[in-house]
Amino acid sequence: MALSTKPLSGMRQRLPGEFRVEKYVTDTLSLCSVQAGFEEYDGPVVEPFALFAAKSGGELAGKQSYCFTDRGGREVILRPEMTPSLARMVAAQGELQLPVRWYSMPLCYRYERPQRGRVREFLQYNLDILGSESLAAELEVILVLQGIMNLFRAPASIYRIGWSSRRFMADALARCGVDQSTRAAVFSAIDKRDKMKGEVWTELLADACASSTIADKVASLVSAGSLSDPWLMDLMQGSSTFDEIVKFNGLLEDVGVTSAVFSPGVVRGLDYYTGIVFELVDTGGENNRSLCGGGRYDDLVGLFGNKKISGVGFGLGVLTLTLFLETYSLIPDSVKKAAPAEVYIAVLSPDEIASAGSLAIFFRRDGIRVMMDVSGKKLGKQYSEAERYGISSVVTVGPDEVETGLYRMKTLSDGVVFTGSPEELSRRLR
């Protein structure tokens, strides 16, 4: 029986044209990271299950995970996210001078039902600062995120960076009357707000709260539109957690990150966030799809028995971002249509293969991208091949050229022919 020509559902396969688009996106993400002094790292795809069971939250390490027992009897998982591995790497480096600024482009895995923008194997860009408790760290990672959107030329009208604080929300919820025993359920309900219809959500929230009075207050809190909302200011009087978010809001305003908007409904699903949390959402379409989520985590590095090291960072799905960019036509045509070479070396007959090879070596040493014919087809077909690839020039190698050392180079766009030595051709190509 013939094998299937399809990859497994939800798995990442990229033909060259698709790869170029993905690489344009990941290169841009890398460039923004590097411009802000971040250094790249990577960790294993295969990790101990226990690393994620501890802190990622029930579903990620549970029924949404790829976990199995390896040949040595180890319980392993294909990482569903990067942050626990990052925390481990930082914890292991006793000598590491803090803070560190690191980024990565890991493959991650989640066993979910595949749909548009949601797959099982995906690249997730990660950017983190560890070892700083200053709000400057939150500001810096959001500046990188803003820089990414600027570099992609995304207009302010199509996205928003919504932010809040877990610490603030815990405080605010307590002031609304939510007690310790129901807090997790209320957080979880708030996290689901954008994923369901209003009335369904109201019901979910009512179920999570101990009374309808409390549920009403929580609903008011979540829909508070600004930090100067009188009801909110009254609720948070004398609160240091409120002072912190007011201060952070001032920083964002002073730096001019107008796309960042205080959004008390933003709590993020991952269990380890403790302070400021934020997400990037697409606001141009019907759906407020989240492109990226992040925040501050205080207790992750401590899991490895070290002293506490606070971190702040975010993860961004490369595919989700790519679909967003494609929706708004923000992937340049030049990326999709890039030619794989500057010159095509056409070979008249098998007798000239070695000479063509020598010419290819010569041009490549000069930094020119050269596609040498390997098809053995007739000359006309070789020219068509070059044209199909968008390669602008073709040099023909036949017995006359080998004998004289002079080669004909044709520019396909205008048909102009130039004849010269390899040195002269190379100079013209560069």
Interaction with its own copies in 46-105: which residues (CB under 8 A)? 46-48, 50-51, 54, 63, 66, 68-72, 74, 76, 78, 85, 88-89, 91-93, 97-99, 101-102
Write the DSSP assignment of 145-170 as a string of letters.
HHHHHHHTT--GGGEEEEEEEHHHHH
Q: Are strands 417-420 and 393-397 parallel, antiparallel or unpaired?
A: unpaired
Q: Does 8 bind its own copies (CB under 8 A)?
A: yes
Residue written as tokens 């959001």? 142
φ, ψ at 109 (rounded to 5°): -135, 130
Nearer to its own copies, 6 or 197 (CB): 6
What residues form DSSP beta bridges with 293? 279, 315
Is the distance from CB of 61 to CB of 77 less than 8 angstroms?
A: yes
Nearer to its own copies, 76 or 214 (CB): 76
Q: Which stretch binds its own copies (CB under 8 A): 3-11, 201-209, 271-279, 319-327?
A: 3-11
Least separation in angstroms between CB 17 and its own copies? 8
Q: Does 196 bind its own copies (CB under 8 A)?
A: no
Nearer to its own copies, 189 or 348 (CB): 348
Binding mask 130-149 for its own copies (x = CB under 8 A): -xxxxxxx-xx--x---x--
Number of residues in contact with its own copies, rule: CB under 8 A? 108
By CB under 8 A, the residues from 354 to 393 that bind its own copies are 354-358, 360-361, 364, 367-376, 385, 388-389, 391
Omega within 30 of 0 (cis) for the link into 106:
no
Least separation in angstroms between CB 166 and its own copies? 20
Angstrom CA distances, 282 to 161, 190, 290, 297, 369, stand at: 9, 19, 7, 25, 39
By CB under 8 A, the residues from 241 to 280 that bind its own copies are 250-251, 254-256
Is the distance from CB of 344 to CB of 395 less than 8 angstroms?
A: yes
Nearer to its own copies, 150 or 228 (CB): 150
By CB under 8 A, the residues from 297 to 326 that bind its own copies are 303-305
Q: Does 156 bind its own copies (CB under 8 A)?
A: no
Show the tokens assigned to 314.
């975010």
Helical packing angle, 166-175 and 212-222, nearest 10°: 140
Q: Does 111 bind its own copies (CB under 8 A)?
A: yes
Q: Which SS3 state, helix, strand or coil, does residue 413 take?
A: coil
Q: What is the amino acid identity at position 386?
A: A
